[in-house]
Amino acid sequence: EGEGGSLRALSDLNVWEITRDRLDRLWLATRNAGAVHFDPATQRWGQILPESVDSTRPGLPHRTVFCIYEDRDGALWFGTLE
């Protein structure tokens, strides 16, 4: 599921990296599921996918995300296969 719900296939994720951002959200860099995030304050999961998979909002250039970095301004950067 995308933004806001529970992520059904969480047990099937191949996770490369887990990062915590300054808002205390956990971000998972995954092999084929884009960037998955969990907000402990709301207990909700979300997912950022490529625009080719989810054209309703801006997305990633590829489904495979190797790393996630938060810069000092709080912007998140995603290292993807493309």
Residue 62 CB neighbour total at 10 angstroms: 16
* Strand-by-strand arrangement of the 44-48 sheet: 15-20, 26-30, 35-39, 44-48
- The answer to whether the CB of 65 falls within 8 A of the CB of 79 is yes
Residues 6+ positions from 9 with CB-CB distance below 8 Å: 33
pLDDT at 81: 86
User: What are the per-10-residue average pLDDT scores of the chain (82 residues)?
Assistant: 52 87 96 93 92 81 95 96 85
